[in-house]
Chain A
Amino acid sequence: MSASVSSNLVYLSDASRKRGSRAAPAFMPERVYVDREVADHPTTIRILERLHGCEADVVDDIRRLKRPDDIATAKRRMILTQHRGQAFKACQGMGPGHLCCGYRVIDLVSGCPMQCSYCILQSYLANNPTTTVNVNLEAILSQVGEFLDAAPDRFYRIGTGELADSLALDPILDFAGLLISFFARRRNALLELKTKTAFVDHLLDIKHRGRTVVSWSVNTPSVIASEERSVASLDERLAAARRAGEAGYGVGFHFDPIIMEGSVDETVSKYDEVVDRILDEIDPKTIAWISLGLLRYPGSLPETAMKSFPGTRIFTGELVPIGGKFRYPRFMRNMVYKPLWDRLSARIPARKLYLCMETPAVWNRVDKGVRASRDIAGRLCNMRSLGG
């Protein structure tokens, strides 16, 4: 063990600091709390080595840690613990009356060092905002393996980006390589690593066997500038996507959240530019899927978000309470989705496109072939996603 445990503090040796200097982490927590139950876990030790001497407290019960007063403080801290419940589950994003793409998620990390005004994690993780890493990866992947083995005739899309960015902490955690190798051996699943970073270079030489899609949340440069912090620029995301595609990975893009700025026509025009950039700069054959999702948020989000983004205007648009969330009315969603869908489907197969958390009525306006959730899953949950 290269980290020495002294009373309740873990200090890193100079030697381990040198070994941990593989790549400069983009994010470095100021303080780390280690659940005593995982203090000797190899993954804990490996992560602490990467943290270049960051002081860590070993705590008996992480639930008793005092909650930071603000999100910014929480984001500068990290908890290393283990997931005690079901870490592999169906995507929670499906609302009443929505069609679902059949996505499943693995909760390895909750919380994120980046900050976006529209991010629902600000509300969802309000009671537990500190970045929390589950180090018992082998046990979690064992759950996934058992699940996949039990249904060999079904095919699943599985992601790690529901409660966190899949790659933002990878310079410290190095989980992505382990996940990619795990999924390379599976016959009935695709892994999706969803990110707003450009941290892909450490993945390029891994044998993925075509079982991993690296995807990017994208937005207009103006939304990225005003609503997203500590993220890669659109240029950097597209350049990273190109590198991933050249390394044989499938790549994905998520226009989510699409935010109305000005009139519908002005909004569509701004997103058209991003569509064109993607299709001009990324080999369409490498694109596994592209999703569209207009802004939606729980009623509690604006108050929380405006503490960090007091100048944001995204909550002042024509959003109304629908199904427990604030959303643009259906006719406005139609007006935005239809032209974007048509523009995308003119250059890549429509079977690679999907709407996130949308109703059959809205789907009907863009693609009459999709009437039920199984229609979306049938298109995306297979290896054809990675074909041209």
Chain B
Amino acid sequence: MLLQYLSISDINTADDSFRITFAPELESLTRSIRAVGIIQPINVRHTPENTYQVVTGYKRVLVMQELGRQSMPALVHEPGDLSPTQAFMWSLHDNAANRELNLIEKSIALTKLGHFCSVSEEDLVKRFLPLFGMDASYKILHQLLSLTQLTEPLKNYVVQSDLALSSAGRIAEFSSSTQQELLPVLTQIRPSASKLNELLTLIREIAARDGMTVEEILHRYQFMQVVADRSTTPADKVRALRQALRGIKLPQLTERQNQMAQLVRSLDLPESAKVVHDPYFEDEKIKLECRFSTPEEIEQLANKIQAAFQKQHWHQIFDWYKT
């Protein structure tokens, strides 16, 4: 191992053999290097082809390139002194020990450990997931490994929006072209993890049921217009998409819920009262919730309830509800 000042043009940044870093945040490092330069030399591996592979310090190399510097200090390891497996383990521990890896970086690290270092699935789960601050679970491992199926723009989206692993894993199940279609939708509606998972599940199930592609579903039901509507908030868009997708996925239940809403409207209850029922009509009991601030409000509700009885509206609801 020798400490040398390497010409930056001699460092092969296209060789990502040992790289884990994805979508790095470089601002603070750039400020630091501008102020005091490189404090710690990077580690590189000198290949028989006379190139230099970055082992640790990939971000420092990027910043130095960006700043137009000509050379930087590096600890140079000859191939016989540092095997590729050792080099990757250095890179892994250098990153994992100093910061929290994002999901894509964890995915890259686990994939390379499996392919590159022949680490068994069991070891990945038991040794490396805890190193990344994750539970030792095969399900989590498989979800992380599946993220290699994401397109580059989606990988960036996952990192930038700090997407939950379960959501990222679901997106990775879609083809590249579908991911491409989904990206503008996701960036405009910004759903929570649970809402996103629900939307993706609904879309996938409708696609499977009707033999359609996701792209066809998005266009056929004009979801892109919902997404592009500038007059609505992201939360409104999520609500509208969810409602529309549930209507397509559960048409008979949706129709029944609409019928129930119509019957409840026929009761003409004041706003202080609300009829609550099991959304799936499983529970036979219906609840009437009321809030009052004056005796007059109670009287008004009682009169409305009585009037609905006289018109047989309550009976209609219960007779219909039992069917």
A residues at B contact (CB < 8 Å):
264, 313, 315-318, 320, 322-323, 329-332, 334, 359, 361, 364-365
Contacts and interface: CB of A to CB of B under 8 A. Distances in A.
Contact of A322 (B250, B251, B280, B323): B280
Given A331-B281, A334-B323, A320 B250 contact: yes
Given A313-B208, A313-B209, A331-B323, A318 B250 contact: yes
Interface in B198-222: 205-206, 208-209
A334 to B, nearest CB: 7
Given A315-B205, A316-B208, A332 B252 contact: yes
Given A322-B280, A361-B322, A329 B205 contact: no
Contacts of A361: 284, 322
Contacts of B251: 318
6 contacts: A313-B208, A318-B249, A320-B280, A330-B281, A331-B256, A359-B282
Nearest to B321: A331
A334 B281 CA distance: 12
Interface of B: 205-206, 208-209, 249-253, 256, 279-282, 284, 322-323
A318 B252 contact: yes
A334 B323 CA distance: 7
A317 B322 CA distance: 22
Contacts of A332: 252-253
Contacts of A315: 205
Contacts of A334: 323
B203 to A, nearest CB: 11
B96 to A, nearest CB: 28
Contacts of A313: 208-209
Contacts of B252: 264, 318, 329, 331-332
A84 B277 CA distance: 47
B280 A329 contact: yes
Nearest to B204: A316
B280 A330 contact: yes
Nearest to B256: A331
Given A323-B282, A329-B281, 5 more contacts: A316-B206, A320-B280, A329-B256, A359-B282, A365-B322
A313 B205 CA distance: 8
A350 to B, nearest CB: 20
A379 to B, nearest CB: 24
In this complex, the member of B205, B252, B281, B282 whose beta carbon has the largest number of chain A beta carbons within 10 angstroms is: B282
B209 A316 contact: yes
In this complex, the member of A315, A316, A332 whose beta carbon has the largest number of chain B beta carbons within 10 angstroms is: A316
A359 B250 CA distance: 22
Kindly list the 5 A-B residue pairs having the minimum CB-CB distance in the complex, ordered from nearest. A316-B209, A316-B205, A329-B280, A320-B280, A318-B250
A331 B253 CA distance: 9
A261 to B, nearest CB: 11
Contacts of B249: 316, 318
A217 B115 CA distance: 46
Given A329-B281, A330-B282, A320 B253 contact: yes
In this complex, the member of B280, B281, B322, B323 whose beta carbon has the largest number of chain A beta carbons within 10 angstroms is: B280
